[in-house]
Structure 1
Amino acid sequence: MTAAIDIAALANLLQEAAVEEILPRFRNLGDGDIRMKTEAIDLVTEADEAAERLIRKGIEGLMPDALFVGEESVAADPALLDQLKDADLAVIVDPIDGTFNFASGLSLFGVMLAVVSKGETVAGLIYDPIGNDWALCEKGSGAWLYRTDGAQEQMFMRPSGPLEQMIGIANTGFFDLEMRRKILSNLAEVRLFTSYRCAAHEYRLLGQGHMDFAMYNKLMPWDHLGGALMMQEAGAHVARFDGSPYLPHHTAGGLLVAADEDAWQELRERIFTVD
């Protein structure tokens, strides 16, 4: 484990950003505080940008040698994302995961952070500003939920059941139309599927044993690096659609999370066949 990581200090930094920049703006955004990025469901708010500035300043103090990769920083300078592959140490941040929900006044949003060392994700944090608690992991140390009262609970994926009883997350919005139709038809085989438009809460639900699988097609590092490591530390089988490991520089190839390799293979072959 990289000695430079102070997981508690990082957790406190995310909380500080929420208290100072995110929560005061929740359900209190003016007309000019919400802007569209690529489409009507891809938004950025003043809270995203202000929180990222605060987190970035904090990271410069805590980990001055780390490359900082924030969602809004990359929106302003896309070339920044290319530096992640070769960075010795990097901190990847989503200041508000679930911006559409946040801008709509829904409380399903979170703050996400991952630490990458020499091309490998080594730590992940997901902070829930509404619940004021953290899910966090360090590689090789398990995944843990830290409650407001200081209680700690280890996170585990629940054991896999039969396909027809599975419930999970299926984010199909970034497939082309024909593939989306095929996958949505295949999903009739599972008991229930949904998307909360917030990977932060979806990964937490998986890690607390409330769901059986998650599938994502678009892979931006701030959305999935910390959560993917967290699922692995919670005992899940995590891989891209072709079975290869998910690495920090990947932005395509899909991601499938399941309780074990057998469940992963069954979901891949019967539901998420994208070849």
Structure 2
Amino acid sequence: MSTTLPATLPKAVSAAQQQHIVNIVRRAAKAEIMPRFRSLSASDIRTKSHANDLVTAADTAAEMMITRALQIAFPTALVVGEEAVADNPALLDQIADAPLAFIIDPIDGTWNYAHGMAIFGVIIAVTQFGKPAFGLIYDPVADDWVIADEETPARMETAANNPRTLKASMGKPLGALIGYVPLHMFAKEHQAKMAVALTGFTRSHPLGCSAHEYRMIAQGHTDFLLTASLHPWDHAAGALICERAGAHVEMLDGGPYSADRRSGHLMVAPDRTTWNRLKKVFTFLLDQP
């Protein structure tokens, strides 16, 4: 459970610090991720929890490089990387009580990356007592990123320094929605109902990469997503970015998202009205088995 937040919190990271974080991520991608893309050997890839849950040499090297740089720049902050959590799950328990935490997904969409598909990204979230306060989703292939904090609108930025403010899509009828729902990741007892529900949308294809799913929603290209799990490295940055792009972001069982949540389903929709319509479709997920 999250601790009670102080009445006021200082700004998590300044504009200058945000740019430093961007620079850290870009350097790690240039040094460790892109040189290995489509050049991995079999020994560079291993499995974690199951056959399709992969980690590569690029994941571990990039996370180590980013972690070191963040620890130097923010010596009192908690730094939680996806691969570090695989070795030490207790790190997750520290997020709720951390005044400042950095949560790293060194390569989101590792399966895609390992198979030569250019749909992957680097995600950095900053949280304060579990609440997302800054989000960065970087595309190493395009060398661009979406970014937001708790005070500024979501925007797309590039090395050419031409930021573009992002806006989520407009609400529309359910049958016209395009979304991301990873059917295979939901509990077996829910998959049959979920499969039927998905026929009610125009499209509901996951990309196998939360980074690009959140980027697409923040840009207004697609409309909604529903998560099957709550790994904070997948969702903390994207939840904030989409919210700052005008989307409605809420847990399916009600209330705001927090990076210390371990169970439940996060849903993002263009507005509250559309979110409420979607909740009626997926409310069976709240039934106790």
TM range (shorter): over 0.9
| Segment of structure 1 superposing worse, 156-165 or 93-102 | 156-165
Aligned pair in 2 of structure 1 residues 248, 3: CA closer, same or farther (>3 Å)?
closer
Report what 1:69 is aligned to: 80
Contact 1:238 1:245 in 2 (8 A): yes
Report what 2:264 is aligned to: 253
1:197 equivalent among 208, 213, 220: 208
Matched, 1:20 2:31: yes
Report what 1:270 is aligned to: 281
SS in 2 for 1:214: strand
| Segment of structure 1 superposing worse, 43-52 or 114-123 | 114-123
Matched, 1:79 2:90: yes
Contact 1:187 1:271 in 2 (8 A): no
SS in 1 for 2:52: coil
Quote the offset at 1:86 in angstroms.
0.9
SS in 1 for 2:284: coil
Contact 1:74 1:81 in 2 (8 A): yes
Code of the aligned partner of 1:105? G
- Among the aligned pairs, what percent are the same residue? 41
Code of the aligned partner of 1:143? A
Consecutive unaligned residues in structure 2, runs of 5 or more: 1-9
Code of the aligned partner of 2:193? K
Report what 2:103 is aligned to: 92
2:195 equivalent among 179, 184, 195: 184
Q: Map of 1:21-170 to 2, 5 A cutoff? A: 21-170=32-181
Contact 2:12 2:134 in 1 (8 A): no
Contact 1:2 1:117 in 2 (8 A): no
Quote the offset at 1:272 in angstroms.
5.2
Query: Separation in 2 of the partners of 1:254 and 1:271?
Result: 10
Consecutive unaligned residues in structure 1, runs of 5 or more: none
Aligned pair in 2 of structure 1 residues 64, 211: CA closer, same or farther (>3 Å)?
same
Contact 1:242 1:253 in 2 (8 A): yes
2:11 equivalent among 2, 5, 24: 2
SS in 1 for 2:254: coil
Contact 1:213 1:257 in 2 (8 A): yes
Query: Separation in 1 of the partners of 2:282 and 2:199?
Result: 9
In the TM superposition, structure 1's runs of 4+ consecutive aligned residues that sit over 3 Å from their partners are: none
Contact 2:176 2:202 in 1 (8 A): yes
Code of the aligned partner of 2:205? T
Quote the offset at 1:3 in angstroms.
5.5
Per-residue CA deviation, residues 176-230 of structure 1 (Å, 9 max, x unaligned), is: 2230110110111111110000000000000111011111110100000000000
Per-residue CA deviation, residues 135-192 of structure 1 (Å, 9 max, x unaligned), is: 0001021101002322111111010111111111112223222301101101111111
TM-score by length of 2: 0.93
SS in 2 for 1:178: helix
Number of residues paired by the alignment?
A: 275
Per-residue CA deviation, residues 88-129 of structure 1 (Å, 9 max, x unaligned), is: 111000000000000000000000000012332110000000
TM-score by length of 1: 0.97
